[in-house]
């Protein structure tokens, strides 16, 4: 029996620019069929994944909790980023590591507190969080982060700081960590099929170095991959998201 359980959640209700995140889970699962299970870097095969049927955002907390009750690791495929706070509610004594281009710290957006632009704000109402890859933040979000003390936990990407301070990231995280990975954390040269791509993002190997360090130092209790908006002429983005899941799983098997 696999220790990894995939929960597809094709939720899309608040996307504000590019659409299509509801098709993300299916595209990732299709691409995963083409990923080799053998990881040459680690010289081992990755455990097969148990794949559940898709669920709604309202079912997500219960689904994740049931997987945790079986001492397995839930892997949630989105869907838009607003689903992450619903998933996090299933976990106790965790902190969240967010990979993202955007801070997602708005209290509400377009009349909704559960807009995908509010994802991390809602998570911080549940547990602490550390943010990596951020390179787009509104004045409202910046002021909130400054006032709340979250600003010191935002690891911005800019020309002077292309690589997050890994030691600081690890110090700011608790022992148990949930990872939420918005694919727009990547530079568009890695993943362009997302609703709000942002230039100057994380590279592939740069991202894997961060994930490898976190998986070795912390107890990863679950993770999600969200905001893929598949395009017919860009299967490379689907494959990158699929490969990312395999790499995280392989890191967890050898942690």
**Tens-digit pLDDT string for the chain (255 aa):** 689 999 999 999 989 888 999 999 999 999 999 999 999 988 889 888 999 999 999 999 999 999 999 999 999 999 999 999 999 999 999 999 999 999 999 999 988 999 999 999 999 999 999 999 999 999 999 999 999 999 999 999 987 777 789 999 999 999 999 999 999 999 999 999 999 999 999 999 999 999 999 999 999 999 999 999 999 999 999 999 999 999 999 999 987
pTM score, two decimals? 0.97
What residues contact residue 92 under an 8 Å CB cut-off, 6+ apart?
A: none
Residue with tokens 């869907």: 79
In the numeric block, which tokens belong to residue 187?
A: 């530079």
Q: How many domains does the chain have?
A: 1
Query: Are 71 and 24 spatial neighbours (Cβ–Cβ below 8 Å)?
Result: no
Q: Which domain holds residue 51?
A: 4-254
| Residues 89, 65: Cα–Cα separation, whole Å | 9
| Residues 96, 69: Cα–Cα separation, whole Å | 20
> Closest by alpha carbon to 48, among 254, 255, 251, 250?
250
Query: Are 202 and 135 spatial neighbours (Cβ–Cβ below 8 Å)?
Result: no
Residue with tokens 């943010």: 131
For position 42, what pLDDT does the model report? 85
Q: What is the 3-state secondary structure (H, E, C) of 99-130?
A: ECCECCCCCCECCECCCHHHHHHHHHCCCCEE
For position 162, what pLDDT does the model report? 72
For position 18, what pLDDT does the model report? 82
For position 39, what pLDDT does the model report? 92
CATH of residue 148's domain is: 3.40.800.10
For position 44, what pLDDT does the model report? 86
Q: What is the 3-state secondary structure (H, E, C) of the chain?
A: CCCEEEEEECCCCCCCCCCCHHHHHHHHHHHHCCCCCEECCCCEECCCCEECCCCCHHHHHHHHHHHHHCCCEEEEEECCCCHHHHHHCCCCCCEEEEECCECCCCCCECCECCCHHHHHHHHHCCCCEEEEEECECCHHHHHHHHHHCHHHHEEECECCECCCCHHHHHHHCCCEEEEEEEHHHECCCCCCCECCCCCCCECHHHHHHHHHHHHHHCEEEEEEEECECCCCCCHHHHHHHHHHHHHHHHHHHHC
């Amino acid at each position: 029996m696999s220790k990894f359980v995939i929960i597809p959640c094709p939720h899309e209700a608040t996307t504000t620019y590019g659409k299509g995140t509801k098709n993300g889970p299916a595209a990732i699962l299709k691409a995963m069929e083409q990923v080799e299970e053998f990881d040459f870097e680690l010289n081992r095969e990755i455990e097969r994944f148990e794949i559940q049927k898709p669920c709604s955002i309202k079912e997500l907390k219960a689904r994740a909790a049931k997987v945790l009750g079986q001492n397995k690791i839930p892997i949630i495929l989105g869907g838009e980023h607003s689903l992450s706070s619903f998933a996090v509610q299933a976990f106790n004594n965790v902190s969240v590591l967010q990979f993202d281009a955007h801070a997602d710290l708005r209290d509400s957006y377009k009349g909704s507190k559960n807009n995908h632009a509010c994802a991390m704000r809602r998570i911080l109402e549940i547990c602490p969080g550390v943010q990596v890859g951020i390179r787009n933040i509104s004045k409202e979000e910046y002021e909130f982060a400054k006032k709340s003390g979250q600003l010191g936990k935002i690891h911005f990407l800019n020309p002077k700081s292309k690589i997050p301070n890994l030691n600081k990231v690890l110090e700011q995280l608790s022992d148990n960590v949930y990872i939420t990975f918005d694919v727009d954390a990547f530079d568009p040269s890695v993943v362009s099929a997302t609703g709000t791509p942002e230039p100057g993002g994380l590279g592939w190997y740069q991202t894997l170095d961060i994930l490898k360090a976190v998986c070795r130092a912390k107890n990863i209790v679950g993770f999600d991959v969200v905001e893929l908006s598949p395009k017919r002429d860009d299967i490379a983005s689907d494959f990158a998201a699929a490969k990312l899941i395999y790499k995280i799983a392989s890191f967890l098997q050898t942690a």
